[in-house]
């Protein structure tokens, strides 16, 4: 409702009645102090008598209402406030109620627009003024301008709604927990992927929704999030409502309040299912490419023991052979067959399709390195490359998948060959450092420019000409290392060579 030339108002009715308040009337000796106090308080104040006349108005009210002292003092309430406010707020009735009951009325909100002034929102209270034990002589109408606070709260709510919309619309998994790992929020992507609704998981521990092999690690990370290194970036497999397993990469960060205390953890996850499928396809194609490169060398490698066995077999067909020579021929045939069989077994292991993490077992890393080197020895001869190796005789056991580790080493070795087109030296070292196994693969090739070092493991990034590489080899190496809970580092100097260092935890 709006009348021409008069303010407009709306009212939220929520009356809270407090206990009777007795306010002593200021004595004459303190009149100047009382007037000064009324002038400086930030609220608008009116003193109203029983005839609904205004007997006092402070400066704040006069400025907000754009009225003069003469236009206000002595005027009836209906002459100062527009009829729409009086009718909707029932202001006069509430004031009479205070006169009769000697009770405080507070908690009302009104929206008021004075002529030429933007819309303002006030909270007001009506307080009785009486001498001790006497009747109410007047009432105070106290109004506080809360326009800016309401506008700020609306802005905050708008931002909160926007952030909530972003979280719900995200294709990544986004959850938040309290400091103990109990779930607070669970976005729509998590609902869709796991089958659990936010109502089902709320207040449950986050670790409950991971496969058993990761639950201990997740629990440790979320029980002490501020000092945990496990929350930075890791891979934990989710368990769905239908007992399926999702490979998920997680990035977690702590939420802190103004004092710096941790209030919870935000975890952002990305489903790696499709990425793993792509990596498996790339790995298989790269294996075929590697086999093609090594085909000539492998054929020569197999032909050598077969030719020895064939020669020994021809001797056996002759007559008048001594028992010692017969035994030597048989031993040569057996050794040749065993050598060819070992080469074929290595090839089959190398060409086998990648497996999932659940197929991990205890693997002797020393044997994996030896098998990888056996596959490339003849290729090294063709490329005029010398292999210098240092492998301990004692086994070094890690938890992993042998053919994936062999794929990792083959990629690094073939990259080293490509970096030495005119020949050179390949250094392969396996060593132990504390609770970790270290594998170093180095070459004496052209090296890697400094600008390219930080991009080596980025998918599809390659410095090779078109048709000479996909840019996925080192990205795949990085993925295999991470799946084995390891780390990969690279050191290179242009014109001097490159060394890759692999670090795996010993089982």
Which residues face 16 on adjacent strands? 106
Q: What does the chain come to in residues?
A: 507
Query: What is the b/e burial string over 189-223, where b = at least 16 CB atoms within 10 angstroms of the residue's CB?
Result: bbbebbebeeeebeeebbbebbbeebbebbbebbe
CB 230 within 8 A of CB 214: no
- Largest CA-CA distance found in the chain, in angstroms, rounded: 147
* 1 domain residue, yes or no: no
CB 90 within 8 A of CB 12: no
Which residues face 255 on adjacent strands? 264
pLDDT score at 468: 46
Torsion (CA) 37, 39, 43, 44 in degrees, nearest 10: 130
Q: Is there a single domain that holds both residue 320 and residue 205?
A: no
* 4 domain residue, yes or no: no
Q: Is there a single domain that holds both residue 15 and residue 93?
A: yes
CB 483 within 8 A of CB 247: no
Residue 105 burial class via C-beta count within 10 angstroms: exposed 0-12, middle 13-18, buried 19 and up? buried
pLDDT score at 464: 55
pTM: predicted TM-score of the whole model, two decimal places? 0.40
* 159 domain residue, yes or no: no
Q: Is there a single domain that holds both residue 120 and residue 232?
A: no
| Phi, psi for residue 427 in degrees, rounded to 5 | -105, 125
Q: Is there a single domain that holds both residue 306 and residue 225?
A: no
Q: Is there a single domain that holds both residue 250 and residue 369?
A: no
Per the structure block, which two tokens stand in for 230?
């496990």
For the stretch 341-368, pLDDT in tens is: 766 765 665 555 554 555 678 999 999 9
- 243: CATH: 3.30.450.20
Decide the pairing of beta strands 397-400 and 173-177: unpaired
CB 38 within 8 A of CB 58: yes
Q: How does DSSP classify residue 182?
A: B
* 152 domain residue, yes or no: no
Three-state DSSP state, 120: strand
- 384: CATH: 3.30.565.10
Q: Is there a single domain that holds both residue 350 and residue 446?
A: yes
* 229 domain residue, yes or no: yes
| Phi, psi for residue 354 in degrees, rounded to 5 | -60, 150
Q: What range does the domain containing 231 cover?
A: 170-271
Q: Is there a single domain that holds both residue 284 and residue 333?
A: yes
Final residue before a domain boundary, out of 271, 304, 339: 271
Q: Is there a single domain that holds both residue 385 and residue 318?
A: yes
Compute the distance between CA of residue 88 and CA of residue 103 in angstroms, rounded to an integer. Answer: 21
CB 177 within 8 A of CB 183: yes
- Provide the 10 A C-beta neighbour count for residue 302: 18
Q: Is there a single domain that holds both residue 328 and residue 426?
A: yes
Alpha-carbon Rg for the chain in angstroms:
42
Final residue before a domain boundary, out of 225, 248, 271: 271
Which residues face 128 on adjacent strands? 139
* 90 domain residue, yes or no: yes
pLDDT score at 427: 94
Q: Is there a single domain that holds both residue 485 and residue 422?
A: yes
Q: Is there a single domain that holds both residue 265 and residue 288?
A: no
For the stretch 206-229, pLDDT in tens is: 888 888 888 888 877 776 666 555
Number of domains in the chain: 3
Q: Is there a single domain that holds both residue 267 and residue 290?
A: no
Final residue before a domain boundary, out of 271, 302, 321: 271
* 412 domain residue, yes or no: yes
Weakly modelled stretches of the chain, pLDDT under 50: 1-29, 355, 460, 465-471
* 255 domain residue, yes or no: yes
């Amino acid at each position: 409702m709006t009348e021409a030339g008069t303010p407009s108002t709306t009212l939220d009715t929520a009356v809270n009645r407090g206990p009777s308040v007795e306010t002593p009337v200021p004595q004459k000796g303190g009149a100047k102090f009382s007037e000064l106090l009324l002038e400086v308080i930030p609220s608008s104040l009116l003193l109203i008598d029983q005839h609904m006349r205004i007997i006092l108005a402070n400066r704040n009210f006069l400025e907000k209402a754009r009225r003069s002292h003469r236009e206000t003092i002595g005027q009836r309430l209906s002459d100062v406030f527009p009829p729409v406010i009086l009718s909707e707020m029932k202001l006069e009735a509430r004031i009479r109620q205070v006169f009769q009951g000697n009770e405080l009325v507070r908690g009302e909100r009104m929206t008021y627009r004075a002529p030429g002034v933007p819309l303002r929102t006030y909270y007001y209270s009506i307080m009785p003024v009486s001498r001790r034990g006497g009747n109410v002589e007047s009432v105070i109408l106290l109004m506080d301008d809360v326009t800016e606070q309401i506008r700020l709260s609306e802005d905050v709510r708008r931002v909160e709604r926007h952030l909530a919309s972003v979280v719900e619309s995200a294709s990544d998994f986004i959850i938040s927990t309290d400091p103990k790992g109990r779930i607070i929020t669970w976005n729509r992507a998590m609902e869709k992927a796991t089958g659990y609704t936010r109502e089902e998981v709320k207040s449950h521990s986050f670790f409950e929704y991971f496969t058993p092999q990761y639950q201990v690690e997740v629990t440790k990370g979320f029980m002490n999030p501020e000092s945990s290194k496990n929350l930075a970036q890791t891979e934990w497999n989710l368990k769905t409502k239908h007992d399926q397993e999702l490979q998920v990469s997680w990035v977690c960060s702590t939420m802190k309040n103004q004092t710096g205390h941790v209030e919870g953890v935000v975890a952002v996850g990305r489903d790696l299912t499709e990425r793993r499928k792509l990596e498996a396809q790339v790995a298989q194609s790269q294996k075929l490419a590697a086999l093609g490169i090594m085909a000539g060398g492998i054929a020569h490698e197999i032909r050598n023991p077969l030719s020895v066995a064939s020669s020994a077999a021809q001797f056996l067909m002759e007559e008048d052979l001594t028992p010692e020579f017969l035994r030597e021929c048989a031993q040569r045939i057996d050794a040749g067959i065993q050598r060819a069989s070992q080469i074929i077994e290595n090839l089959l292991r190398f060409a086998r399709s990648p497996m999932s993490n659940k197929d991990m077992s205890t693997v002797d890393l020393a044997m994996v390195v030896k098998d990888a080197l056996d596959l490339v020895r003849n290729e090294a001869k063709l490329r005029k490359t010398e292999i210098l190796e240092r492998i301990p005789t004692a086994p070094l056991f890690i938890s992993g998948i042998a053919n994936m580790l062999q794929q990792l080493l083959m990629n690094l070795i073939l990259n080293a060959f490509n970096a030495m087109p005119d020949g050179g030296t390949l250094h392969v070292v396996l060593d132990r450092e504390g609770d970790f196994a270290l594998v170093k693969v180095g070459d004496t090739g052209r090296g890697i420019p400094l600008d390219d070092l930080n991009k080596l493991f980025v998918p599809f990034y390659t410095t090779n000409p078109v048709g000479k590489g996909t840019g996925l080899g080192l990205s795949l190496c990085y993925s295999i290392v991470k799946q084995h809970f390891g780390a990969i580092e690279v050191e290179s100097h242009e014109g001097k060579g490159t060394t890759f260092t692999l670090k795996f935890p010993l089982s």
